[in-house]
Amino acid sequence: MSAQVFLHIKRLAMVSVVSVLALSSGVVRAQVTVSAGPLQLHEVKTIYIDPSSDDFMRLLKSRLEKWGAVKITSQLEEADAILKCETESRIVPAKVVVRVIDAQVRLVDRHTQKLIWSTKKSTSWDNRLADVIVEQLRRDREKSFSHY
């Protein structure tokens, strides 16, 4: 049995147990909300980009919009997930001084705040780094479709 099928069965079992407990108590006093965990990567259709004054985030946003597989929204309430990015620049001494940018990118479920996807990449070119991150997201999203 694949891991995705197992997780789906586990989610259904959790919902069933909660339903049985609620019914057996006789009276349900409040609405019970069951979170089955974060969305799968292929389920994410709309992304809100966590506000940042970082130029790299603006570049990453433009690359995601160019890719077009997900919609980028400026309204948090419309998003399935939130994209968060932490960048750090460092100088690496070599024959020529090189500035290296490290980026830790995380995509979290808007409702549960649980991690859906993450990557950490480094390069000396802002443009290349944004392209590499979007390409990794694209490949991982395709894998997500095939595993479900």
Structure tokens at 86: 């932490």
Structure tokens at 108: 């979290």
Task: Tell me the average pLDDT across 7-20.
Answer: 41
What proportion of the chain, given as a percentage, has pLDDT over 70? 74
Residue 106's contacts (CB-CB under 8 Å, 6 or more residues apart) are: 83, 84, 85, 115, 117, 118
- Cβ(116)–Cβ(38) below 8 Å: yes
Banded model confidence at residue 31, pLDDT cuts 50, 70, 90: very low
Q: Among candidates 67, 148, 52, which has minimal Cα distance to 104? A: 52
Taking only the tens place, the pLDDT of each residue in 106-136 is 999 999 999 999 999 998 887 899 999 999 9
Structure tokens at 63: 């690359």
pTM reported for the whole predicted model: 0.70
CB-count burial class (<10 Å; 0-12, 13-18, 19+) for 130: buried
